[in-house]
Amino acid sequence: MDVLIAAERIDARVRELAAEIARAYEGKPVTVVGILTGCLMFTADLIRRIDLPLRVAFITASSYRGETTTSGRLEIRDELLPDISGRHILLLDDILDTGKTLTRVVAHLIDRGAASVKVGVLLRKIGRQEVPFEPDYVGFTIPDKFVVGYGLDFNDEHRHLPFIGVIPH
Ligand code: IMP
Ligand code: MG
């Protein structure tokens, strides 16, 4: 496995993002919503550094890119989400690729009555975005390579790696 971003660099950047987020919310309560499963490590590490009154919840969003590349089907499941009406949401995902997932999940949370939705992603891939979408917080901008580790998977494997890596081929 080739290491693209070492664990130490992730840790340093996550601390910076947490400080930036805490400053932006000025002590106001935030509800962090992670998109499972990729958000796992980013969410766990980030929330431990955010000095704010904070709730955390999760949703799932599964795309079917393997099945049909063109349909862009996305299934959002939010049975585990508490009532978020009137709450300020910080939505977290592992990576911004085409932008379709985050665009739809943001719309879904607004639909559920969120007072505001800001978005943080650990990674943003260059040259892949298909829908205009501007995240509020970005950890790292990366080249158009398929990455794994720190929550990101290939066929549900490699999520546990403490670094971001590229599978050699
Ligand atoms: P989008 O809707 O195309 O932006 O897709 C975002 C989702 O695709 C992420 O939440 C990941 O689950 C997955 N994804 C995109 N690129 C990668 C990658 O390089 N490695 C692993 N998963 C990826
Ligand atoms: Mg995924």
**In the prediction, which pLDDT does 60 show?**
97
Ligand lying nearest the CA atom of residue 69: 1
Nearest to 97 by CA among 55, 59, 152, 52: 152
Q: Is 43 exposed, middle or buried (0-12, 13-18, 19+ CB in 10 A)?
A: buried
Ligand 1 pocket, mutate which of 5, 70, 92, 95 (most atoms under 8 A from CB): 95
- Contact 45 CB / ligand 1 (< 6 Å): no
Q: Is 159 exposed, middle or buried (0-12, 13-18, 19+ CB in 10 A)?
A: middle
**In the prediction, which pLDDT does 63 show?**
80
DSSP string, the chain: -EEEE-HHHHHHHHHHHHHHHHHHHTT--EEEEEEETTTHHHHHHHHTT--S-EEEEEEEEEE-TTT-TTT--EEEE-TT----TTPEEEEEEEEESSSHHHHHHHHHHHHTT-SEEEEEEEEEETT---S----SEEEEEE-S--EEBTTB-BTTBSTT-SSEEE---
Active site residue 51: no
Q: Whose CA is nearest to atom 12 of ligand 1?
A: 38
Q: Whose CA is nearest to atom 20 of ligand 1?
A: 147
CATH second-level architecture of 2-62+74-143? 3-Layer(aba) Sandwich (3.40)
62 Cα: distance to centroid of ligand 2 (angstroms): 7
Nearest to 101 by CA among 83, 141, 128: 128
**In the prediction, which pLDDT does 15 show?**
98
pLDDT 10s digits, 66-84: 554 455 679 999 999 999 9
Point out the catalytic residue in the list 2, 97, 111, 153. 97
pLDDT 10s digits, 100-129: 999 999 999 999 999 999 999 999 999 999
Predicted TM-score of the model (pTM): 0.95
**Closest ligand 1 atom to Cα of 61:** 10
- Contact 59 CB / ligand 1 (< 6 Å): no
Strand 74-77 and strand 30-36: pairing? unpaired
User: What tokens appear for 125 in the block?
Assistant: 């891939």
d(C-alpha 141, C-alpha 152), whole Å: 15
Ligand 1 pocket, mutate which of 1, 97, 159 (most atoms under 8 A from CB): 97
- Contact 139 CB / ligand 1 (< 6 Å): no
User: How confident is the chain (169 residues) per 10-residue block, as mean pLDDT?
Assistant: 97 98 97 98 98 97 65 86 98 97 97 98 96 96 97 96 92
**In the prediction, which pLDDT does 66 show?**
57
